[in-house]
Amino acid sequence: MIVSDTFTSYSENFKEIFRVVFFLHVETRQILHFDIHTNPTTNWMKKVLKLVVRKQKQTGKKFHYFLSDNDSLFGKRFTKYLEKIGIKHKKTSFHSPWQNCYAERINSMLHSLRVVQQIKTCRNEFLDFFIPLNKYHLEKKLDEFIHFYNNHRTHLALNKDSPVTSPVLTSSKDKSVKLVSAPVLGGLYYIFCDP
């Protein structure tokens, strides 16, 4: 199953409002794709979804269900499009963000609702510390965050693994070998690796 949601980010001078959509694979917790638009439409959403479906087919994976909230971007035309390509569209009930908890955790809506104990995610792990200058800047930083999220951030539901399994560093008997930390997002996070 794929879940999706949108969130809003503002430019540094508040002249531009960016809508970010992302697609998350529930089983692996991997963010498959994201896109940014200043004026999103259902047609734009269909194009973005077509890209996600194509990426999934290239990896040999298929999904049969798509879960979203009741945003107007996911309206009747979008549902008909999903049916046409063989995917069932499931929508959450109105005013029930906990029904799409995987996506809501990413954009941190649950943080303000206090529905479950929140593990920091995109909004309060990243966007609270970052104001984009423009769309390009937001895209590059989100790309860096999503790479970190998919490849290095651990999840309890995945037995403390990341969505894309990374090599496990084992302690070396040779005491001269040291781990090196590499900053991510300007030092907001650090990843550790062999030199």
Tens-place pLDDT, residues 137-171: 889 988 888 888 888 877 777 777 777 877 666 66
pLDDT of residue 123: 57
Q: What are phi and psi of 147, to 5 degrees?
A: -60, -45
Taking residue 133's Cβ as centre, other Cβ atoms within 10 Å add up to: 12
Q: What are phi and psi of 25, to 5 degrees?
A: -85, 120
Q: Where are the domains of the chain?
A: 2-166
Q: Which helix (H) or strand (E) holds 109?
A: helix 109-113
SS3 107: helix
Say whether domain 2-166 belongs to CATH 3.30.420.10: yes
Kindly give, in sequence order, each residue whose CB lies less than 8 Å from that of residue 147, ignoring residues fewer than 6 positions away: none
pLDDT digits (tens, 9 = 90+) for 123-132: 556 667 777 8
Kindly give, in sequence order, each residue whose CB lies less than 8 Å from that of residue 189, ignoring residues fewer than 6 positions away: 148, 152, 183
10, β-bridge pairs: 17
CB 48 within 8 A of CB 37: no
pLDDT of residue 158: 74
SS3 190: strand
pLDDT digits (tens, 9 = 90+) for 48-99: 999 988 888 888 778 889 988 888 888 899 999 999 999 999 888 787 766 6
